[in-house]
């Protein structure tokens, strides 16, 4: 295609030759200009002259706007439902933490009025006004996720602490922690003494409680009865295995109330005081042994009680 340019200002005519690519480019450019003009005209009509729109265009625009609003409302409702479910889960977790906190307070011996888990914590302070920050759905969901992780972490740590406290409490129950006799006095302490039969210096491997015959003898700690029978030296004797190589002995009883293999609890009555075996009168001979070696029961009980 040849284009000839003629002008009064030019001494000669000019000729421009356009190939296929140039013509295609010009057509595309012209089409783009037409579409731009049409879009600009449509925007101007919608923006500045809505009263001039036809009923069909108005209906189409209203439908598009209504669909968009429904989508937004559906998204907000779904988000609120999901957050409400998360809040319900967190409330259930908080109730579980309150119950766990009450159990821990009881295990540690705290007073109930020190931690009132069924009441909100007391708060107060001066009002400091700060610029309001708009809370978006995504921001609120992020905070809920963070709080959920923190609540789960605290719950796991409190459960681990409760397990440790229960284990310590169980261990104390399995250690000699209470005197086997609740009345009377020591007639002979642990250590070296003059033997009442020979008069020679001899080791006394326990303590003697001088009380009346028939007085209740109670287990100093929970355990399993390992021996309950007549012994040539100890007379009627009971031996209780408390685990961890700890054994207690109760000797010279007039009556045995438990059998071998029986599980006894701390403070449970196991025998009655008498004067059987190598004895000069009614009393209880009480021993604590660790790995077969006699320990001073008085110091052992004091250490356990502290």
* Antiparallel, parallel or unpaired: β 246-256 and 235-241: antiparallel
% of the chain residues with pLDDT over 90: 28
Residues 190 and 222 in one domain: yes
Residues 42 and 102 in one domain: no
Full residue range of the structural domain in which residue 42 is found: 2-48
- CA distance linking residue 222 with residue 296, whole number of Å: 19
| pLDDT at residue 179 greater than cutoff 50 | yes
| pLDDT at residue 143 greater than cutoff 80 | no
29/239: higher pLDDT:
239
Q: What is the mean pLDDT of residues 289-300?
A: 86
Residues 212 and 272 in one domain: yes
Three-state DSSP class for residue 193: strand
Three-state DSSP class for residue 269: strand
Q: Which residues pair with 210 in a beta bridge?
A: 185
Tokens of 202: 């001899």
Judged on CB neighbours under 10 Å (0-12, 13-18, 19+), 35 is exposed
Is there a domain that residue 126 lies in? no
| pLDDT at residue 254 greater than cutoff 80 | yes
Cβ atoms of 5 and 14 closer than 8 Å: yes
* pLDDT score at 94: 75
Q: Which of 99-108, 146-155, 296-305 has the lowest mean pLDDT?
A: 296-305
What domain count does the chain have? 3
Tokens of 125: 């302070």
Is there a domain that residue 163 lies in? yes
Cβ atoms of 276 and 256 closer than 8 Å: no
Residues 155 and 202 in one domain: no
**Dihedral angle at the C-alpha atoms of 165, 171, 175, 177, nearest 10 degrees?**
20
Is there a domain that residue 62 lies in? no
Q: What is the mean pLDDT of residues 215-231?
A: 95
Neighbours of 237 (CB within 10 A): 22
Q: Which of 173, 196, 217 is the last residue of a domain?
A: 173
Residues 152 and 213 in one domain: no
Residues 149 and 247 in one domain: no
* pLDDT score at 23: 66
* pLDDT score at 304: 43
- CA distance linking residue 226 with residue 276, whole number of Å: 19
Residues 206 and 280 in one domain: yes
* pLDDT score at 30: 80
- CA distance linking residue 240 with residue 288, whole number of Å: 10
pLDDT digits (tens, 9 = 90+) for 8-60: 665 566 666 666 666 667 777 787 788 787 777 666 655 655 555 566 656 76
287 falls in which pLDDT band (50, 70, 90)? Answer: very high
Tokens of 213: 């015959």
pLDDT digits (tens, 9 = 90+) for 162-175: 767 766 666 666 78
Residues 101 and 144 in one domain: yes
305 falls in which pLDDT band (50, 70, 90)? Answer: very low
Cβ atoms of 224 and 263 closer than 8 Å: yes
> Which residue in 98, 90, 183, 83 sits closest to 136, CA to CA?
83
Is there a domain that residue 105 lies in? yes
Residues 257 and 194 in one domain: yes
Residues 194 and 288 in one domain: yes
Neighbours of 245 (CB within 10 A): 11
Which residues, including other chains, have CB under 8 Å from residue 269's CB and lie 6 or more apart?
216, 217, 218, 257
Three-state DSSP class for residue 240: strand
Residues 28 and 72 in one domain: no
Terminal alpha carbon distance of the chain: 112
% of the chain residues with pLDDT over 70: 70
CATH code: domain of residue 228 = 2.70.70.10
Q: Which of 79-83, 216-220, 239-243 has the lowest mean pLDDT?
A: 79-83
Is there a domain that residue 59 lies in? no
* pLDDT score at 154: 74
Is there a domain that residue 121 lies in? no
> Which residue in 85, 198, 229 sits closest to 144, CA to CA?
85
Q: What is the mean pLDDT of residues 56-76?
A: 70
| Sign of the torsion formed by the C-alpha atoms of 279, 282, 283 and 285 | positive
Is there a domain that residue 226 lies in? yes
- Please give the backbone phi and psi of residue 51, each rounded to the nearest 5 degrees, phi first: -70, -15
Residues 217 and 237 in one domain: yes
116 falls in which pLDDT band (50, 70, 90)? Answer: low
Q: Which residues pair with 248 in a beta bridge?
A: 240, 288
Is there a domain that residue 157 lies in? yes
Q: What is the largest CA-CA distance in the chain?
A: 156
| pLDDT at residue 1 greater than cutoff 60 | no
């Amino acid at each position: 295609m040849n284009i000839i340019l003629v002008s009064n200002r030019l001494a000669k005519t000019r000729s421009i030759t356009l190939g296929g690519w140039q013509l295609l480019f010009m057509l595309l450019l012209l089409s783009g200009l037409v579409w731009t003009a049409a879009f600009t005209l449509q925007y101007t009509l919608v923006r500045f002259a809505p009263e001039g729109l036809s009923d069909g265009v108005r209906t189409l625009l209203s439908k598009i706007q209504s669909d968009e609003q429904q989508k937004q409302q559906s998204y907000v409702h779904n988000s609120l439902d999901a957050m409400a479910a998360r809040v319900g889960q967190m409330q259930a977790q908080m109730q579980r933490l309150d119950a766990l906190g009450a159990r821990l307070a009881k295990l540690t011996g705290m007073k109930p009025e020190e931690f009132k888990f069924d009441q909100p914590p007391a708060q107060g302070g001066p009002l400091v006004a700060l610029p309001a920050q708009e809370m978006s759905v995504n921001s609120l969901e992020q905070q809920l996720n963070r709080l959920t992780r923190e609540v789960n972490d605290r719950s796991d740590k409190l459960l681990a602490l409760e397990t440790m406290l229960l284990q310590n409490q169980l261990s104390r129950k399995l250690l000699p922690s209470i005197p086997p006799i609740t009345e009377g006095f020591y007639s002979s302490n642990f250590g070296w003494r003059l033997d009442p039969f020979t008069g020679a210096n001899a080791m006394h491997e326990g303590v003697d409680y001088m009380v009346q015959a028939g007085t209740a003898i109670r287990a100093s700690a929970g355990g399993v009865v390992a021996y309950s029978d007549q012994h040539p030296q100890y007379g009627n004797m009971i031996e209780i295995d408390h685990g961890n190589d700890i054994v207690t002995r109760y000797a010279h009883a007039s009556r045995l109330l438990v059998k071998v293999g029986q599980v006894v609890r701390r403070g449970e009555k196991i025998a009655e005081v008498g004067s059987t075996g190598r004895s000069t009168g009614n009393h209880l001979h009480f021993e604590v042994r660790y790995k077969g070696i006699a320990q001073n029961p008085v110091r052992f009980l004091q250490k356990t009680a502290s």
